[in-house]
Amino acid sequence: MKKIILILITALALTLISCSDNSKDDDVPAVGTVKMTLDGSSWQASGANAVLSTMGNNQQLSIAGAKVVDLATNTFETVTITIISNSAITAGDYIWKSGLPYAQVTFSPTTSAQNTWSPGSAEITITKITDDNVQGTFSATLEKSGESNKVITSGGFNTNIMSF
């Protein structure tokens, strides 16, 4: 299920890589962006968006940011931030754990699910959420078998929400 969600979010992110970048150098990026420090280096998406879907009493918020690395070779990196809850997703803190509400952060340097770093830990704080916008911060330690962990700090997002 996690891989399906990642693939859907990656596809969404690909459609957004041509978005303009109007970010400022403050704690939370401008609308339509995700930024973070990845293993000590600054990282900012070329474009980002969020999808909020409701099924019965459950809600899922997925935020995807894609960074174009090399347009000629179609090389990009994607970060996804996902919260699944059995009630409305509101401003507040969400952590990686078993059970609901469920929060995760993943990072992939390509579209292949085999190249995805998954959460060993993750913390997401939604500071503001409206019908069409979500803002917040995040951090995570990501793991992948046979690879060194990736550490995300100082993450921030401010994206439009598409509701389904």
Interval 142-152: pLDDT, tens: 999 889 999 99
pLDDT digits (tens, 9 = 90+) for 69-114: 888 877 889 999 999 999 999 999 999 987 788 899 999 987 666 7
Structure tokens at 54: 């409701």
Strands 150-163 and 47-55, how do they pair? parallel
Boundaries of every domain in the chain: 2-163
- DSSP per-residue codes, 58-90: EEEEEEEEEEEEEGGGTEEEEEEEEEEESS---
The dihedral sign for the CA sequence 28, 29, 33, 35: negative
